[in-house]
Amino acid sequence: MLIPCPVCGPRDHEEFTYGGDATVTRPTIAELSAATWGTFVYDRTNPKGAHEEHWHHVHGCRRWMVVSRDTETHAVTEARLVGAWAEPKTEPGED
């Protein structure tokens, strides 16, 4: 499976680490009940078809991204940087 890293280009999935479901919303600090956090940590669906996942390019640019992938065929349609990594850093002299 090739993942189209926005920084490094298409790379084999073995260069990446899976970071979890990108569609899950973390509870706020005000929602500190055991039931709410237990659901967040342990309850996951196993979607069939189009899905968004967090991946970390460990053996490349080391940036986090959201990868859109079909869980049935493993076809990757998109990868986009997220968080602090969403803005690519420029090399010295590249302004």
pLDDT digits (tens, 9 = 90+) for 70-85: 999 999 999 999 987 6
Q: Which long-range contacts (CB under 8 A, 24 or more apart) does 71-75 make?
A: 71/47, 72/48, 74/1
Q: Which two tokens stand for residue 15?
A: 């260069």
Q: Is 79:7 a contact under the CB 8 Å cutoff?
A: no
Q: What share of the chain is helix, strand, coil (3-state, %, to 5)?
A: 15, 35, 50
pLDDT digits (tens, 9 = 90+) for 31-78: 778 888 888 888 888 889 999 999 999 999 999 999 999 999 999 999
Coil vs helix vs strand at 13: helix
The one-letter amino acid at 27: P
CATH number for the domain whose boundaries are 1-25+49-90: 3.30.2270.10
Q: In the beta sheet, which residues pair with residue 20?
A: 54
Domain boundaries, the chain: 1-25+49-90
